[in-house]
Structure formats: structure tokens, C-alpha cells
Amino acid sequence: MAEASSGPAIQVEGLTKSFGDVRALRGIDLSVPRGTVLGVLGPNGAGKTTAVRILTTLLRPDGGRAIVEGLDVVRNDAAVRRVIGLSGQSAAIQEELTGKENLELIGRLYHLSWPDARSRAAELLSQFDLVDAADRHAKTYSGGMQRRLDLAASLVGQPKVLFLDEPTTGLDPRSRLSMWDVIRSLAAGGTTILLTTQYLDEADELADTIVVFDHGKVIAQGTAEDLKGRIGGDVIEFAVPDRTRINDAVAAIKPIGDGEPHLDADTGIVGIGVGGRGSDALIEAVRSLDAAEVVTHGLALRRPSLDDVFLALTGHAAEEDGQPESKRGGRRKGKPADSDTAKARKDNA
């Protein structure tokens, strides 16, 4: 059953998982070569977390096969746990312990001797820029520092394959960038990484290959460039306060873009893909709209978002089913997970 050790780091075939009536995964196939970064992109409820939980032996799949470093995650779960690291959506650290104590504790649970656990902790604290905070209770850390500590904890056992489930959700833009640096340096060091994200730019920045999840299926796969090619690059977007002029606005910008403009009748927001001709297209749009005498609000050029990816790939916007993650979400009430996500999304926009 064991794959040759030169095979891919992660190999998934036909993976399925249901929670009651909700089919969280409907036959996922993935292959992640050693030393590469796979970005799993999708909205909440697409099945990203479920897939990560199966690959990290926390959940048993209903069907299909998942192999990590040549080991079956169901039959060899104990061995899989020796070669993986997991950093989840929230910082799984003990807030009453100091950063150093957290890492030493994890080291002890990896069966390092006390001196080894201490030196490994010291090594990681300096790698993650937490030396000054090493002896402070983790409760006093900023969100970004807590997530860095959490990531450091997932590396104590020197995993060959690292799973990062939405590593930057809820972080402010600056912490997000510093997290990206850390992840890039891990990838450069040869660690195979599977990272889930709701943000196209994050997958774009970090991943060698991207798969897009929707309703428990892989709906697209390729490099960031492939996907952006399919989405059509940048988007011009604006609002038309006078709804009676929306059609005039659409007519005015139609020649500028690639394909049809899309409009949201409720909000009066019009958008159009303009490929790689961002700034030029923006100038043209201003001229045409001005010539058509249409008043607009918030005319701007923006990079494609997850919604644009979904619109391009599926014809519908990224829907948040909220399942099965909502089951966990329910448990997490009391924590501002949703507002964090909303905030991060705003920061991202």
C-alpha cells in the first residue's frame, strides 16, 4: 500500500465525507509534489477545513484514499502524525503559558528531552521573531504574534508536510504580510505545504499550484497565472447612484472590457473585467462614462477577488453555505470569528 517515497507528498483520490445530510466533500482528488506549496482556495463551507482535518487524521473519510508521505491517513494514522504539522484557524496555544513554555510543552509531547525541547523552543522563538516576548504570557500577545507562535508550535516536530488552515484569517494587513514572509521561508526550506485560504491574493503570493473548492468539489486547478487568465485579470468597478442610468453606464464601458459587464441591480454596482490593461482601461472608462454623462461613485480598479474567481469559474458568486464549518462555528460562538473574517475581508478589499 505504501507509495514509493519519491512519490508526491500528498496524494488524494476520490475523497468523500458527509455530516448527516451535508455532503462536505464529494470526491476530491489532489496531488502535491514534495517541496511545493498547494493553495486550497474557496469560501467558507467549501470543504477546505474538512479536507485538512482528514489529511491530519482528525476525521475519518467516508470514502476515497488519502496518502501523506506514503502513509495512509486512516490505516497508518499514528505514523502520519509523526510527519505532519497542523496550524488551524485559531491560535491553538495556551494563553496562560509563556511563548517559551508553550513551545517547550509541545517539544516534550514530541518526546524531546528537556534540554532538546528548550533548545528547539529557543530556535523557533528566534526564527519567528518572538524572542523579546518569550517570557510573556501568550495572552498578552497580539493576534499576529499568537498566530506566529501557533505556527511555530506546528513546526516543533520538524514536519515534512505542513497543513495551514486559513493562516491569516482575522489578521490585520501588517501581520498578514509578516505571516506570508514566514510561510515563504518555510517553503524555501523545502517543507511541503498545503494551505487553505479565502483570499486569491494569498494563494497567488504563496502557492505553486492552486485548487479551487466549491461545494466539496475541486472546480479548478492550476497555477495562479492559469487561474488569472481564466478570470481575465483586473476588474473595474463603480456604483451608479441614479439607477435609471445604469444601462447607459453599462453601454459606455462595454467596449473597454473583456466580455460582458456584470451588474448588481440591488446595489447599483457595475463591474467589468479588463484583463491586464488596468490603468489604461481605467482612463478609458473615466472618459467614456464622462462622455455619457453618467455620475458614478467609487470608480476604481481592483485586483480580482475570490468572488471574481467564482463568477468566472461557476457563473455564481462564492456562496457561504456555512456547512460543515458552521458546526464548528457554532462551537466557536463567543469568539469573534465571523467579525474577524469580515474585518480581514474588508482589509483585503
Partner 1 sequence: MTAIAAPAGLRETGPSPLTRTKWAVSDTLTITRRNLIVWYRVPAYIFFSVVQPVIFVLLFRYVFGGAIPVHGTTYVQYLLPGIIGQTAAFASFGTAIALAQELQKGVIDRLRSMPMARSAVLAGRLVADSVRMLVTILIIVAVGYAVGFRFTNGVAAAIAMIALATVFGLAICCIAAFTGLAIGDEESVQSFGLIWLFPLTFVSSAFVPIATMPGWLQAFANNQPVTFVIDAMRALALGHQPVAADMLKSIAWLIGIFVVFVPLSVRAYKRAV
Smallest separation (angstroms) from partner 1 to the CB of 138 = 11
**CB nearer to partner 1: pick between 161 and 236:** 161
**CB nearer to partner 1: pick between 121 and 249:** 121
Smallest separation (angstroms) from partner 1 to the CB of 93 = 8
**CB nearer to partner 1: pick between 1 and 291:** 1
Smallest separation (angstroms) from partner 1 to the CB of 238 = 41
Smallest separation (angstroms) from partner 1 to the CB of 115 = 15
Smallest separation (angstroms) from partner 1 to the CB of 286 = 48
Q: Which among 201, 117, 104 is positioned nearest to 149, based on CA atoms? A: 104
Smallest separation (angstroms) from partner 1 to the CB of 173 = 23
**CB nearer to partner 1: pick between 151 and 306:** 151
Smallest separation (angstroms) from partner 1 to the CB of 322 = 15
**Site for partner 1, rule CB under 8 A:** 1-3, 5, 34-35, 53, 56-59, 69-71, 76, 78-79, 81-82, 84-86, 88-94, 96-97, 101, 105-106, 108-111, 137, 150, 153-154, 157, 160, 190-191, 327-328, 330-335
**CB nearer to partner 1: pick between 328 and 343:** 328
Residue 77: phi and psi, rounded to 5, are -55, -40
Q: Which among 74, 70, 37 is positioned nearest to 53, based on CA atoms? A: 74
